Amino acid sequence: MNYKKTYLPQKGYTPMCKIGECSLKRLEFGIIALGAGESLRYSTEDKETAFILLEGHCDVTFDNEKWENVGNRSSVFENKRAESFFMPRDMSLDITARDNLKIAVCATPVAEKGEPQLLRAERVPVKLLGRVPFQRETTFLIDGTTNAKILTVGEAYVAEGNWAGFPPHKHDEDNMPTECVAEEIYYFLFEPKQGFAVQCLYTGDGEIEEAYRVKNDELVEFPRGFHTTVATPGYKTYFLWLMAGDYQGFNRSNDPEHDWIK
Residue pLDDT, tens place only, 54-89: 999 999 999 999 999 999 999 999 999 999 999 999
pLDDT, residue 70, reads: 98
Q: Which of 207, 195, 202 is nearest to 231 (CA)?
A: 195
Domains and CATH numbers, the chain: 4-254 (2.60.120.10)
pTM value > 0.95 = yes
pLDDT, residue 250, reads: 82
Residue 49 one-letter amino acid: T
pLDDT, residue 249, reads: 85
* Structural element, H or E, at residue 137: strand 134-142
pLDDT, residue 4, reads: 98
Q: Which of 13, 36, 44, 205 is nearest to 115 (CA)?
A: 44
User: Which regions in the chain score pLDDT beneath 50?
Assistant: none
